[in-house]
Structure 1
Amino acid sequence: MTLSELLPSLGHAGLDRQLWPSTTHLDELGRVCIGGVPLTEVADEFRTPTYVLDEQDFRTRIRRYQSALPGVSIVYAGKSLLTTTIARWIAQEGLGLDVCSGGELATAMAAGVDPARIILHGNAKTPDELRDAAAIGVGRIVVDSPLEIAFLAGQVRARQTVLLRVIPGVDIGGHPAVTTGVDDQKFGFTIAGDRARDAVQRILNQPCLSLTGLHCHIGSQVADPTLYGQTIARMIALMADIRTRFGVTLPDLDIGGGHAVPYVAGDPELNLARFAEVIEHSLESACTAADFPRPALTIEPGRAISARAGITLYRVVAVKSQPGGRTFVAVDGGMSDNPRVALYGAKYTVALANRHTATPSATVTVVGRHCEAGDVIARDVELPADVHPGDLLAVACTGAYHHSMASSYNMVGRPPLVAVAEGRCRQLIRRETIADLLSRDCDVPSLPWG
């Protein structure tokens, strides 16, 4: 019999296997452990807040994609979470890497990633970013505007492979901030109005550019695989029309990522097996209908690989109950290390990580340290009623768009990122210090302390 069975109140730990890293368990003291390491030890060594990443979970999710989609090229979306170590994991697992800034490209190169396996994205790439990517020899540049076509044509010294980003006109029905497949948004060229076809003509007119395919992305947190089926049908129809108009048969189709993961119990998740079935059927049907040769398919998961591999540790600083109102549990981090609640109204799962308690649960709101009423970690969640200052809280599913979106708001340094595996910790990114922050201030004559 397990500890959880002996002590049912360990349900406070909230260890839903769909939300937490795959190696998560409780030890005999009721402490949450990941990668064989008690999180209390991580907090003691690296302080809080700290991002913790389960290497085994991260790699396992990659392998699930490879197993479910053996004929598909899988490219990791680096914007979700990227360091040089993570870039090496990606390369070791045989994935490509997509980047969308000069900094992400530099990280990939510092990690020794083969440039041929890199895709450069972005709706407003700078001339320097385009020039550097072409000079390095990245495998594909996704063209997102007419100006990029003209600039690349005038700058590249060797023939550069490009994809054209197309808006497929598929609405996922989500938050406007994460819906990218509809016409009225900043990415790509619409099918409507011949914008995409005009861009194809522009590229084909440039002998130094090699158009090998189309790219699209319909949005984030997409749980319904049939939306990808609709996307494939529209993209294949466009590729067939391009063949008819220009006599060019494009061999590559990249349908992006955006695969949904759950953040709280009951959230929908993209079923990989069903996704594989839908894209196979859709490709077969669309290519047969258009008498078009089947293109090589690429997908770009990011969040679906990194999100659940990561958690964030916080130390409780204060507990405050307002008369007739909420109980607020204030922690030592907040919107500077997780802006998604303020940006999207995102919801999270929180657990007491440092001890077992038999105390009944209470509904609380976990808030951050920043001077904003909207600085919230998780609203109306269940924690033990005896939660108190000094306790350690763990927030699940923070491996994607937390480290990568963190800021130094209120001059609070960004947290470290620590990988755990086989009972050991490894710091991937150190904590940002006050000295780091002041070092950018050109009028600081010297730091006020050593």
Structure 2
Amino acid sequence: MGRIAVFGTQEINRDGHLYIGGIDTNDLAGEFGTPLYVYDTALIKDKINQFKKAFDKHEGLNWQIAYASKAFSTLAMIQLVNEQGLSLDVVSGGELFTALKAGMDPERIHFHGNNKSESELAMALDARIGAVIVDNRDELELLERMCTERDQQIAILLRVTPGIEAHTHEFIMTGQDDSKFGFNLANGTAQQAVKQALQAAHLQLIGIHAHIGSQIFETNGFTGAIRVMLKHVNQWTRELGFALNVLNVGGGFGIRYTEKDRPLPITSYIDAIVETAEEECARYRLPMPALWIEPGRSIVGEAGTSLYTVGAAKTIPGIRNYLSIDGGMADNIRPSLYQAEYQAICANRALEPKTNKVAIAGKCCESGDILIKELMLPETCSSGDLLAVFSTGAYGYSMASHYNRIANPAVVFVENGEATLVVRRESYEDLIRCDVPLKNLSPNI
């Protein structure tokens, strides 16, 4: 069996079939249907271990890794994260509910979000989660009022915008001054929030947080943000008596989607973060805080592969060849939303010469539903064949929609020759489960 230069346990057999976790993807498609999200759980565990080892080599350092569940949140995924000893970052009541149902230790849950509702904060307080990352003044005041009424303490971090523009797509930049997230450092609102939080009897301000963006391929953004934040922390320490216990630098570590992507080794990101924090703390004579990070995409992105069945073909002479699949923007909105690019192969003809340039078209009733604009496939790849799209583990399932009343795909975990269904495929009945009809339904179906 020969290796394919993609990710994890993916291999191509002599018969030209793609295997993941020791299982033929054609067998997976036959058993579970398509579209299908397939997760290589051995690769997920390996990515987690890479982060752990990168921190472990820095002796005496207090650190914490929180999986950013927005990338991919299911009961099974949260259970896997919990078993691996990670903390968890949630951004909504639904993600928090999923985490608690999955048995996640509440003390290892951090609640993010720029517009948390009172009911969501109540759920967090009822569960006594580990920390709330406060995003704005309204939330700060609401949380203090709720904790006062309950006579309950809660640990908080303040999310700040350090004015750093990460080198990534504008839709996934979050650390610049013009951002919907966080307290601005440059105009003084962050300092005001620190002062207010320190005066709040029921809020325990343990640290600050910044997230500069996603899909980042260099360390300068992280190191620049740390320098800016610790400069302000030094001022707050002297003027307000603030004690920094936690410095959370977020996530955003890039992954490989196509051959054009050149992500750094995980240890390069962590080394730069740790060393810069140590240097700046020494400069200002500040105690070294615990360092927290929030990887999501970099843990699950490359571990996910989407399988599709090829359907109709269309050739426009001199312009373009189209191959349509049984999925598209309903199960992967990223290409339509911000021009994300992917790599794919014909999973049952992977060894045949790739001489046909095609566009992979989704089935939604939108001309913009093009999953891959240009892809080289075998001339023989046609209706009934299997297309495997790589690195779809992050923000595929989690951003899936019911547009055109398309049911969501199933999700399967694979490892060591075993496949486990972790999300069943939706039925048409699932699509109308929350609908309220105006009159009796038709008996014809």
TM-score (norm 1): 0.94
8 Å CA contact retained: 1:75, 1:97: yes
1:399 is matched by which residue type in structure 2? G
Query: Any conservation in 1 of the 2:349–2:381 contact (CA below 8 Å)?
Result: no
Residues 292-441 of structure 1 mapped to structure 2, 5 A cutoff: 292-355=286-349, 358-441=352-435
Distance 2:422 2:443 in 1: 28
In structure 2, what is the Cα distance between the partners aligned to 1:119 and 1:63? 21
Is 1:417–1:428's contact at 8 Å kept on the other side of the alignment?
yes
- In the superposition, relative to structure 1, how do residues 360 and 93 fare at CA in structure 2: closer, same or farther (>3 Å)? closer
Query: Which secondary structure does the structure 1 equivalent of 2:178 belong to?
Result: coil
Do structure 1's residue 442 and structure 2's residue 428 form an aligned pair? no
Rounded to whole Å, the distance in 2 between the matches of 1:98 and 1:234 is 24
- Counterpart of 1:16 in structure 2: which amino acid? A
Pairing 1:47–2:30 present: no
Distance 1:103 1:276 in 2: 30
CA deviations on 1:82-122 (whole Å, 9 max, x unpaired) are 11111111111111000000110011101111100000000
Amino acid at match of 1:211: L
| Runs (4+) off by over 4 Å | 447-450
**SS of residue matched to 2:144:** helix
**Deviation per CA, 1:297-316, whole angstroms, max 9, x where unpaired?**
00000000000110000000
Name the structure 1 match of 2:172. 178
Equivalent residue of 1:417, what SS? strand
AA paired with 1:111? A
Structure 1 residues 357, 171: closer, same or farther in 2, change over 3 A? closer
Alignment of 1:22-101 (within 5 A): 22-70=8-56, 71=61, 72-101=63-92
Q: How many residue pairs end up in the alignment? A: 436
Cα distance between partner residues in 2 of 1:355 and 1:179: 38
| Alpha-carbon distance between aligned partners in 1 of 2:250 and 2:274, rounded to the nearest angstrom | 16
- Counterpart AA for 1:145: N
What is aligned with 1:8? none
1:97-108 to structure 2, matched below 5 A, reads 97-108=88-99
Secondary structure in 2 matching 1:373: coil
What is the deviation of 1:211? 0.4
Gaps of 5+ in 2: none
Deviation, 1:447, is 6.4
Give 3-state SS (helix, strand or coil) of 1:192's partner. coil
Distance in 2 separating the partners of 1:259 and 1:413: 31
Residue in 2 that maps onto 1:245: 239
CA distance in structure 1 between the aligned counterparts of 2:88 and 2:352, rounded to whole angstroms = 46
Q: Deviations over 1:123-150 (max 9, x none)?
A: 0111110111011111000001111111
The more displaced of 276-285 and 291-300 is: 276-285
Aligned position for 2:117: 126
For the aligned residue pairs, the C-alpha RMSD in angstroms reads: 1.4
Q: d(CA) in 1 for partners of 2:139 and 2:54?
A: 35
- CA distance, structure 2, for counterparts of residue 240 and residue 371 of structure 1: 55
2:242 and 2:418 map into 1 onto residues whose CA distance is 53
SS of 2:397's partner is coil
Q: Provide the secondary structure at the position in 1 that maps to 2:187.
A: helix
Identity over the aligned pairs, expressed in percent?
A: 37
Q: Which residue of 2 aligns with 1:11?
A: none
1:277-296 aligned at under 5 Å gives the runs 277-296=271-290
Amino acid at match of 2:212: I
Q: 1:334 to 1:356 in 2, by over 3 A?
A: closer
- Matched residue of 2:400: which SS? coil
Aligned to 1:214: 208
TM-score, normalised to structure 2, is: 0.95
Where does the alignment leave 5 or more consecutive residues of structure 1 unmatched? Answer: 5-14
2:20 is aligned with what amino acid? Answer: I
In structure 2, give the amino acid aligned to 1:133: A
